[in-house]
Amino acid sequence: MDKLLIIMDPKHKHQTALSRGIELARATGASLEIVAFVHEYLDALPSDPVIQNNARTALIELRQEWLEKMLALADCDDLNVVAHTVWAKQIHQWINEHCERENISTVVKTGHRSETFLYTPTDWHLIRECPAPVMLVADNKWKKAHPILAAIDLSSEKPVKRALNNRIIDHAWQLAKAMDTELHLVHALHTSVVLADLDIIDTAAHTRKREEELKPRIEHLRNTWHLNPEQVHIVAGPAQKVIPSVANKIKADMVVMGTTGKTGLAAKVIGNTAEKVLTHLRTDLVAIKPAEKD
């Protein structure tokens, strides 16, 4: 990792994203860009541009003072850090455009896990649109000895999905190596709940058949990444339940998974697996989109 972009959260009591980012930077040698955002509606002020500009400058300076206090408390003088405050209403747009321009390895942000049909939080926008991997940090303490879990899709024959699997595993492997912990893989064997409830399919037999079909791919992954059998988890069920369940079982510190980046109505109606997983997950999530060249 070359450069981490940490997003500060003034409304969050504990700056967990800052703590995670500093921990990761120390482990990987990455530099840090730390950004605090501020925006207020100035409609109540006189329309004089000078007054409006002065108010905006004062608010930015106030937020910058808060940011510098947080950095002083974080004790990160040993790291390569650039910290600044940005005036922006649409935070995700600024982050996405900034990641396009700069060589950002990962965006680190506190995770907020709520959504309605008419309101999409910044986290969802970043998962769907950000060109860089996005780490959404949970409140629980980082436990260095616990594994990194990579969630992959072994069922697809599409080249883009296979390439994304490789990106997910490679990113998770690098994190596990940097944090001196184990890499685990998980694949959810999806079975139609409706068909199972109607006894149209034998769920157990279907699961055994799929596991047998996936054996060559699993063996290839184990040999490639030097994994023991207990480090690969093949579990029947929907991914949004299987992944958090396995993460909880192995006490993972972080889950790395892919996202298709659906946007608009498709994302509202169909949803993204990464977003569904996030609502159940109680640890950090790193969401990675397919590479454009894929």
**pLDDT less than 50: residues of the chain:** 194, 196, 265-270, 294
The pTM for the full model equals 0.86
Strands 284-288 and 134-137: antiparallel
Rounded-to-integer distance, Cα 255 and Cα 243, Å? 8
CA nearest to 245, candidates 258, 257, 235, 231: 235
Residue pointed to by tokens 């369940």: 245
Q: Torsions phi, psi of 259, nearest 5? A: -140, 140
Give the three-state DSSP class for 52: helix
What is the set of domains in the chain, with CATH numbers?
A: 3-137 (3.40.50.620), 148-288 (3.40.50.12370)
Q: Which residues contact 245 (CB under 8 A, 6 or more apart)?
A: 235, 237
CA separation for the pair 260, 235 (Å, rounded): 22
- Report the C-alpha gap between 219 and 89 in whole angstroms: 49
List, in order, residues 6 or more apart from 159 with CB less than 8 Å away: 294
d(C-alpha 148, C-alpha 135), whole Å:
13
- 226-277 pLDDT, tens digit each: 999 999 999 988 888 999 999 999 999 899 999 865 555 444 433 577 778 8
Distance CA 259, CA 256 (A): 10
Nearest residue to 16 via CA among 112, 110, 133, 81? 110
Q: Is 127 helix (H, G, I), strand (E, B) or coil?
A: helix
Helix (H, G, I), strand (E, B), or coil: what is residue 46?
coil
Q: Rounded CA gap, 285 and 254, in Å?
A: 6
Q: Specify the pLDDT at position 135.
A: 94
